[in-house]
Structure 1
């Protein structure tokens, strides 16, 4: 029986980077978390420890920081710059993957900011001679206080959940979308996709979180032609009506306690047919 090396990659995870543009009275702030992963002709490194084909992970980290000296721009563009550079540095490196998280800050003044809750922007770039780009957002918390139902599901001896025709629907949106091109107005695409997710969540009368998920993905594809597919992961942040009867009080749908875990997790991909 032969024992061989399978697929492998290595890299530098979570290089934290803050770039401040000071070329105007009103400063601009970019706050990133960058992870890189490389793969290629690295069998000997695993089998013998030879490092002559390895671009050190510290070098990968330094490259991220050095590239930021000339500006970051849109994170998709920054990821493309890095990925193409890594593959071009050594003949042994055939593929680079760059994942970027951009943390949101809201301006308070010319040089003052506060961390906002508008969601973390995402980009993933893979380059192996050809480039593919994904964008996305995570931790975008949304809630509808009504216009959500959940009923009509099968019941068996283990079912205790009561049906409801009016409930709070809350989730933290985690979405990733795949672009069909690398020639995209990245900022516009991100803003439109994010607005589409929010609009669909707010305007869809929901009979299930699955239905809401599909409506959100569909709205993104309708509004951003450069996006080929959207993967969504929506944890159901359960809000339970609190029983106040032990205190001789009624509860006309105004007091809820929030369940931490376990929670429902709804995931699907919405795809543009070609």
Structure 2
């Protein structure tokens, strides 16, 4: 989000009004499993495995979810658990016996980012119906994984917390949960695609070398270059693009 808003604040040429207009986020939701024994999930690697059983990369696929463990320090976990007051406290009291799985969506929704005030960022993004269905698919699969691993209860982070105790309960969730604004805790930590790469200035913001189409000496080298959501952790791709753009920049300097 920083790159497009820097370009916009700087009033750089953008004749086709593309900058900031194709934001993807990998929207996700996290379910927590409560186990009878201590797990101390904060120890070790917080994301040690992934499941791609529900992830296909073809356009319009009805499987666009990947699942990873998701755990954090108490403040981080408390922010993803549902409930208020004593209800929320009751869940947090099980922190040592808790494990969590996040379902991230390889989203097709396109959002928008623009400056807000002097330094802020305004994001306009809401998952479309197809992406919301993918979130539900991921929640159901995450719940089943935790229950199969021995959780006695799985908590779904809706405003009115939903507790699942069996795979049958999880299956029912697939047909009963409708995601609306503010009724489910949705997170997103992978902003991308807002200054995307492509051949033509009419349909993209930067060329394949990372050079901004409208200025010869401006290069972009971060996750805003992705033409679409990438459907996976973006770090290695970001490193590779940084190396690619860096080499092109050096070559352009002779």
TM-score (norm 1): 0.27
Greater C-alpha radius of gyration: 1
More helix by share: 2
Of Structure 1 and Structure 2, which has the larger fraction of its residues in strand?
Answer: 1
Scaled by the length of structure 2, the TM-score of the pair is 0.28
